[in-house]
Chains A and B, each alone.
Chain A
């Protein structure tokens, strides 16, 4: 349970970046490594001030590659650890996100999405990194990504990302955008007894019997940390349950990589969270996430006022993708509308599950998300 000083229980008026930082602190994060980048810098600035107040560690590394590597090191040394960045830094982190997947290192990566590709539009929002969050590092893997729509969720979902990272021993990602990061809203931080905080599973076998990558039934291995006398080895190479390299065994590759994917896939019902509004009798469903979902909610309400049966499926979990729910919706509705601040990313997942049901995609790039009227117009066209 966090100490009083580390948990600022009460009502606040703050921006999303600061709420994210406080969410990390509430989750028990005690290590932050990062590199300055708009629009995520405020997270680092806030943590550089807050962390030392209760013995937490803040370090500014030489780049995002190093930041991610240091986060892994701290996690293996036993601390809950996080970094925060935006698109260009997220690209650099992909290498060690892969290492985190392979070595099953619990950690959180916050990506405050801005306009890309490349340097793009640093101070403007985007939703262009959602596929990168899923597929950005090489090789096959599955991981977790959450999309906050409000300052409150910047806090709540950062905490949730830590819980998922610790539960499944994965790098968990929080995909915010420039708007939720920079806007000021009311944030309520609950008292300590109202917070659900998960810590990684610890080994319960004698030291000499410990196998660092031998999973339990939930496919997740218990985790020892450096300095506890287990003398274990971890590597980015394909390895067996002892953690020893197996570079020429097809069997080892099949077994390990399948498990790394399955520990998310087979637990997806426990992981996935969506918010449903007026979907029960909907003819048209809007599927949206992040800041865009707020315009979409307004659009759906306006559609109802005009007699159109519209509803909203807000994705809180982007990865794993709630494909079962989307498939059900496709059976029920005449059309699905997907507004995104990119050129069409999550819409591909929706289309994959929609089968015969038409899917209308609405792209918007630049300074502002879709207006409710723009989404309403698309709902009307498809009703």
Chain B
């Protein structure tokens, strides 16, 4: 008899939902891997964790994590998670979704959740395009990139997500690539311990689609780009945190503290009740 050996992190995943839907060379598996490592190192109580995703390749993450999880409509993960966090502030609510989901169709929810400082944690896998629908132009597609809907080169200016998050009021903002597994995991751990709206952008390779159109046909080629271009410039001005062929600025950009929405709300409730008792 061969002894059955299970992976030490398998308790964090729904094995019966495998195989996953992600392509060879995709970075989503790395994002999920770093996330479950962070959970493991923090000894997170899985009964008190809710993972929420929107629509897109990375949106399947909610289904793969062995916690309470919810796969919402396109773009609405943050709005749904706001309801969860406010109704049950003791729950840890993490949103794992993509650039199109969070910043195109869901962009309004992102800025308002950051402004309110609702205590949800957002991990965005930014692969520069809509992968699941076959590689269309998105809100982070770099200028001049080719996609199925920018066949002559993209003329739309992309969002700088860390700048956007910082300006909207997030209390923790970081950017890494899927090459930076240790720093990304550390960042996730840090974020999980904070109270308030936190945001991590992960630059993630999509070689099968985005890469194929833009002369980086394998995951390795995309990772080589990340390796060559990444520069750690922590706590530099997020407005200047560029993503170009030559340079990808990574690091932590914001790490501050202010009272979360749910904390303020429940403090108000306590004050009101105290007043009415007097």
Instruction: Determine if B47 and A69 form an interchain contact, defined as CB atoms under 8 angstroms apart.
Output: no
A233, B50: Cβ atoms closer than 8 Å = no
If A66-B112, A73-B81, A226-B50 touch, does A95 touch B73 (CB 8 Å cutoff)?
yes
Determine the chain A residues whose CB is within 8 A of the CB of B276 once the complex forms: 53
Bound Cα distance from A59 to B83, whole angstroms:
9
Considering residues A75, A227, A234, A242, which has the most beta carbons from chain B within 10 angstroms of its beta carbon? A227
In the assembled complex, which residues on chain B have CB atoms less than 8 Å from the CB atom of A30? 87
Q: Please name all residues of chain B whose beta carbon is closer than 8 Å to the beta carbon of A231 when the two chains form the complex.
A: 46-47, 66-68
B83→A71 contact, CB < 8 A? yes
**Most chain-A CB neighbours within 10 Å: which of B84, B85, B90, B276?**
B84
| A70 in contact with B82 (CB, 8 Å) | yes
Q: CA of A55 to CA of B265 in the docked complex: distance in angstroms?
A: 10
Contact B82 A236 (CB under 8 A): no
The answer to whether B76 touches A96 (Cβ under 8 A) is yes
B72 in the interface (beta carbon within 8 A):
yes
Q: B214 interface residue, CB < 8 Å from A?
A: no
Contact B90–A233 (Cβ < 8 Å): no
Residues of chain A within 8 A (CB-CB) of B68 are: 226-227, 230-233
Which residues of chain A are within 8 angstroms of B87 by Cβ–Cβ distance? Answer: 30-31, 57, 73-74, 77-79, 81
The 8 A CB mask of A53-69 against B (1 = contact, 0 = none) is 10101010111011101
Q: Which of B71, B91, B265 is the most central at the interface, judged by chain A CB atoms within 10 Å of its CB?
A: B71
Distance (whole angstroms) from the CB of A47 to the closest CB of chain B: 14
From B88, which residue of chain A is reached at the shortest CB distance?
A77
- The answer to whether B2 has its CB under 8 Å from any CB of chain A is no
B86 within 8 A of partner (CB): yes
CA distance A59 to B115 in the complex (A): 14
The reply to whether the CB of B17 lies closer than 8 angstroms to some CB of chain A is: yes
Whether A193 sits at the interface, judged by CB under 8 Å, is no
Contact yes or no, B79 A70, CB < 8 A: yes
Cβ–Cβ contact B83 & A73, under 8 A: yes
Is A229 engaged at the interface, CB distance under 8 Å to the other chain?
yes
Q: With an 8 A cutoff between CB atoms, is A272 at the interface?
A: no
A contact residues around B269 at 8 Å (CB): 52, 55
- How many whole Å from A65's CB to the nearest CB in chain B? 7
Q: Which of B63, B70, B85, B268 has its CB near the most chain A CB atoms (within 10 A)? A: B70
Measured between beta carbons, the chain B residues less than 8 angstroms from A96 are 73, 76
CB A221 to nearest CB in B, in angstroms, measures 16
Interface residues of B in 245-278 (CB under 8 A from A): 265, 268-269, 272-273, 276
What 1/0 mask marks residues of chain A from 217 to 246 whose CB sits below 8 Å from any chain B CB?
000000000111111111111000010110
User: With contacts A61-B112, A229-B47 known, is A237 near B79, CB below 8 A?
Assistant: no
Which of A53, A70, A79, A99 gathers the greatest number of chain B CB atoms within 10 Å?
A70
Task: Report yes or no: B83 in contact with A234, Cβ–Cβ below 8 A.
Answer: no
Check: A112 CB closer than 8 A to any chain B CB.
no
Do A228 and B91 touch (CB < 8 A)?
Answer: no
| Contact of B14 with A by CB under 8 A | yes
Chain B residues within CB distance 8 Å of chain A: 14, 16-17, 46-48, 50, 52, 62-63, 66-73, 76, 79-88, 90-91, 108-109, 112, 265, 268-269, 272-273, 276
Chain A interfacial positions (CB closer than 8 Å to B): 30-31, 33, 52-53, 55, 57, 59, 61-63, 65-67, 69-79, 81, 95-96, 98-99, 103, 226-237, 242, 244-245
Q: Beyond A53-B276, A79-B87, list 20 extra A-B contacts (CB 8 Å).
A: A52-B272, A59-B82, A69-B72, A71-B83, A72-B72, A72-B80, A73-B84, A75-B83, A77-B88, A78-B88, A226-B50, A227-B91, A232-B69, A233-B68, A233-B70, A233-B71, A234-B70, A236-B73, A237-B71, A244-B16
Question: Would you give 23 A-B contacts (Cβ < 8 Å), ordered by A?
Answer: A53-B272, A55-B273, A57-B86, A66-B79, A66-B108, A69-B76, A70-B79, A70-B80, A70-B86, A72-B80, A73-B84, A73-B85, A74-B86, A77-B91, A99-B76, A230-B68, A233-B70, A234-B70, A234-B71, A235-B62, A236-B73, A244-B16, A244-B63
